[in-house]
Structure 1
Amino acid sequence: MPVTLFQALACPLDGTPLQRDGAAWRCPSGHSFDVARQNYANLLPVQHKRSRDPGDSKEMVAARRRFLAAGFYAPIADAVNRAVLADLPPDATVACLDAGCGEGYYLRQLAASAPAGCRLALMGLDISKWAVLSAAKQDARVSWVVGSNAHLPVLPGTLDRVLCMFGFPVYPEFARVLKPGGRLIQVDAGPEHLRELREIIYPALKPQRTADPPTPAGFTERPATTLRFRIELASAQEIADLLAMTPHLYRATAEARADAAALTALSLGVDVRLTCFEREAV
């Protein structure tokens, strides 16, 4: 099953098409962006940064890589793969962006699962340079880009699928880059997600939202899927890795983090909602 680089990149400064020129991407206006030795491009202009080193740190990326490589979230990857590949002809060429790709786990699982005859043009984007560096080191078949969901460096109407995994959806941008009939596959935490961990690190749990979010403009919602299963963490390292890849790491007090660090085993419920939105014809 061929996997190729996604080529329809746009200049993050003026939106014009980028063309690969040796070890750089260049636009007609003369803007140039070097390709790193590890074969990724940094398309995040300084004016789009909110800090000097935005996104996940090197340590957080390493924790996520260890946790996902252990297979704990494999059922989520399987469900995403089915959603991406649904309703495609057997010989389709599918351009797919993972918007907030982290260290690339879900794109690698997608590449491994696609049927023979299907061609994938893959792009992974993350605001963390450490995440993109880790992803690029693991798979050279994907176009890896440092960038922001708020200003996707992608030409309009060039994508068949966009993934947003536990991330920060920017629906106008997703609508802009998807083809009519293209699909956004969004995965979010459900009300019972990692409840056992949250009970350890918070004195009280806040009530979870029960109403479905509104369908974003320009999209039609398709049937959603709720995925629930249990995982068994059998070491302090696995528990620490999970905590490091969640927002709870920053929200917990030092005492709560110490309580979690003292654990050597933890049984957890995973509860996620997979929502698929289809881009309306324009």
Structure 2
Amino acid sequence: MIIDAFNALACPMDGQALADSGSCWQCPAGHSFDMARQGYLHLLPVQKKRSLDPGDSREMVAARRRFLNAGYYRPVAEAVNAAALPCTTGKAAPLACLDAGCGEGYYLRELAQGNTDIRLSLVGLDISKWAALAAAKQDKRPRWVVGSNANIPVLAGTLDRVLCLFGFPVYAEFARVLKSGGILIRADAGPNHLRELREIIYPALKPEKPPASGAPDGFSIVGTETVCYQLTLETPEVIADLLAMTPHLYRASPEGRERASQLHKLTVTVEVNLMRLQRLAR
């Protein structure tokens, strides 16, 4: 397999094309962005941050890295790969794919590992610098970028695929960066996802919100799938990592977190809804 770093990046200040000068990336207006020595590019200007250190913390990223690298969500990754890479054998140009909210890069690494037929041009975007740092340490081939889904630093119409996996979709931006006919793959937790853990940490579960009906503007729905299986976690450390990598850690009460910390073994349901949306012709 051949994996390239995606280079059609846009300046987060004015949207113009960025060029790599070797030590930094610069747009024609002179806005300049240094490449971190660890191998990621920071394209989230301070004036566009909502906090000093937005996104997942170093601890959340580390917990997610340990849990995902152990393979617990591999069936989800395999389903994402199948959704992202259908009927692409023999494609001459690289397939350009963005993971919007890439975390520590697990799903892009699995996409690269699961592909043997075509050239891939990959970019992972996350608002957390700790996520981009962890991703860059594990695989140097994709382009890892600190940035926001609200202002994706990618030139318009340059991507074949966008992944938004358990993240925050900004459909107008996804439509802007995708080519006509490009595919957006959404992954969202189903109503039974981690139900057993949630029943332990919350006094009562809130009613599930009904899924949105219809496709967002600029897209048509071309396929849906549910990935569902049981997962047994055998140690307190693994259970703690699962909780720490989710928003439930901060939403649960101290009493709920204490109950979770007493667990030595837990079987949970993994239920993930996948949706494939195609970018309509401009």
TM over 0.5, shorter chain? yes
Shift of 1:208: 1.1
Matching residue of 1:105: 106
Matching residue of 1:114: 115
The 3-state SS of whatever aligns with 1:223 is: strand
Instruction: State the distance in 2 between where 1:35 and 1:238 align.
Output: 34
TM-score normalised to structure 2 length: 0.98
The 3-state SS of whatever aligns with 2:223 is: coil
The 3-state SS of whatever aligns with 1:249 is: helix
The 3-state SS of whatever aligns with 2:185 is: strand
| 1:54-203 equivalences in 2 (<5 Å) | 54-92=54-92, 93-116=94-117, 118-203=118-203
The 3-state SS of whatever aligns with 2:20 is: strand
The 3-state SS of whatever aligns with 1:13 is: coil
Residue 264 in 1 paired to residue 259 in 2? no
The 3-state SS of whatever aligns with 2:172 is: helix
Residue 253 in 1 paired to residue 253 in 2? yes
Shift of 1:210: 3.5
Residue 16 in 1 paired to residue 13 in 2? no
Instruction: State the distance in 2 between where 1:209 and 1:20 align.
Output: 45
Matching residue of 2:239: 239
Q: Which runs of 5+ in 1 are unaligned?
A: none
Instruction: State the distance in 2 between where 1:39 and 1:227 align.
Output: 33
Q: How many residues align?
A: 281
Instruction: State the distance in 1 between where 2:224 and 2:99 align.
Output: 19
| 1:17-56 equivalences in 2 (<5 Å) | 17-56=17-56
Instruction: State the distance in 1 between where 2:249 and 2:47 align.
Output: 28
Shift of 1:211: 4.1
Instruction: State the distance in 2 between where 1:176 and 1:212 align.
Output: 21
Shift of 1:229: 0.4
Percentage of pairs with the same residue: 62
Q: RMSD over aligned Cα, in angstroms?
A: 0.9
Q: Which runs of 4 or more aligned residues in structure 1 lie more than 6 Å from their structure 2 counterparts after TM superposition?
A: none
Q: Which runs of 5+ in 2 are unaligned?
A: none
TM-score normalised to structure 1 length: 0.98
Instruction: State the distance in 1 between where 2:40 and 2:190 align.
Output: 33
Instruction: State the distance in 1 between where 2:211 and 2:51 align.
Output: 34
Shift of 1:38: 1.2
Q: Deviations over 1:28-77 (max 9, x none)?
A: 00000000111111000112111000000101100000000110000000
Q: Deviations over 1:214-234 (max 9, x none)?
A: 311000001200110011101
Instruction: State the distance in 1 between where 2:42 and 2:212 align.
Output: 35
- Amino acid corresponding to residue 84 of structure 1 in structure 2: A
The 3-state SS of whatever aligns with 2:174 is: helix
- Amino acid corresponding to residue 96 of structure 2 in structure 1: A
